């Protein structure tokens, strides 16, 4: 059991397929260019910056046959990167945050959600008050199937970007061009927080304690936030900050 828990915590942001896909009824299949426009109709473009890029996470959040299909279209966002947020999730991962990075071009996904999906996604993202749901305008996105976009919605980290040496840390698992800062894998950034906050624990015990001990998790978040950079962008509008 603990091996599965550790696998989930340290596997973040999980498998990223490298191309657009659709999740439906606990399975995923490729999204085709000829169907892209139809899949977007009536949907809200929510930029996925961390594990919501992965079909594994989308299937975990939208289990069963009662959900409409969720198109997840790969895209490239200019002048941003996906970095580690200054908080630890209840399942033990150090999660992602979007961060402005002029000159960087990061590969992300757009979850095209409808009114049925949004309350569930809000529940998973806003429940612990680590994120707010926001709109971002004045940006440049190009999707895999040729759509140019200047606005999208996303979940902004309330904790800010974890920056222990004054610089945010990109997720090595997420592809990007012209990165300004050295990237780390999940296990690497976990090791950094482990040594800074709980070096008397073994590494696996440290990860498990972040899951099982809410006070320890909160104390580690407090330390991380002492080395955080807030998200600032002229096109940010916060829409919803709690369930």
Topology given in CATH for the domain delimited by 2-237: Hypothetical upf0131 protein ytfp (3.10.490)
SS3 41: coil
Secondary structure, 3-state, 13-27: CCCCCCCCEEEECCE
Give the pLDDT of residue 212.
Answer: 96
String of DSSP letters for 203-237: HHHHHHHHHH-HHHHHHHHHHHHTTEE----TTEE
Domain-by-domain residue ranges, the chain? 2-237
Residues 6+ apart with CB under 8 A from 215: none
- Residues 17, 101, 222, CA angle at the centre, nearest 5°? 90
Give the pLDDT of residue 157.
Answer: 97
pLDDT digits (tens), the chain, 243 positions: 588 999 999 999 999 999 999 999 999 999 999 999 999 999 999 999 999 999 999 999 999 899 999 999 999 999 999 999 999 999 999 999 999 999 999 999 999 999 999 999 999 999 888 999 999 999 999 999 999 999 999 999 999 999 999 999 999 999 999 999 999 999 999 999 999 999 999 999 999 999 999 999 999 999 999 999 999 999 999 999 876
Of the chain, the end-to-end C-alpha distance in Å amounts to 31
Give the pLDDT of residue 87.
Answer: 96
Give the pLDDT of residue 243.
Answer: 65
- For residue 212, how far is the Cα from the chain centroid? 22
Is residue 79 within 8 Å of 102, Cβ to Cβ? yes
Tokens of 18: 């490298």
Report the distance separating Cα 141 and Cα 143, nearest Å: 6
Give the pLDDT of residue 72.
Answer: 98
Is residue 76 within 8 Å of 122, Cβ to Cβ? no
Give the pLDDT of residue 128.
Answer: 80
Give the pLDDT of residue 51.
Answer: 97
């Amino acid at each position: 059991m603990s091996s599965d828990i550790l696998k989930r915590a340290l596997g973040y942001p999980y498998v990223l397929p490298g191309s657009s896909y659709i999740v439906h009824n606990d399975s995923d299949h490729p999204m085709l260019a000829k169907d892209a426009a139809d899949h977007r109709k009536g949907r809200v473009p929510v930029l996925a910056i961390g594990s919501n890029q992965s079909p594994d996470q989308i299937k975990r959040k939208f289990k069963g046959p009662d959900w409409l299909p969720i198109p997840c279209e790969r895209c490239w966002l200019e002048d941003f990167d996906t970095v580690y947020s200054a908080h630890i999730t209840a399942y033990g991962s150090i999660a992602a945050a979007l961060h402005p990075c002029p000159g960087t071009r990061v590969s992300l996904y757009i979850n095209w959600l409808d009114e049925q999906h949004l309350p569930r996604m809000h529940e998973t993202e806003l429940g612990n008050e680590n994120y707010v749901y926001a709109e971002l305008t004045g940006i440049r996105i190009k999707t895999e199937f040729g759509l140019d976009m200047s606005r999208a919605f996303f979940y902004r980290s309330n904790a800010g970007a974890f920056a222990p040496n004054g610089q945010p840390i990109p997720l090595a698992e997420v592809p990007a061009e012209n990165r300004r800062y050295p990237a780390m894998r999940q296990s690497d950034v976990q090791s950094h927080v482990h040594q800074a906050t709980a070096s008397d624990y073994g590494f696996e015990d440290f990860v498990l304690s972040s899951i099982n001990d809410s006070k320890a998790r909160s104390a580690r978040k407090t330390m991380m936030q002492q080395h955080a950079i807030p998200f600032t962008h002229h096109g940010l509008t916060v829409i919803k900050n709690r369930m």
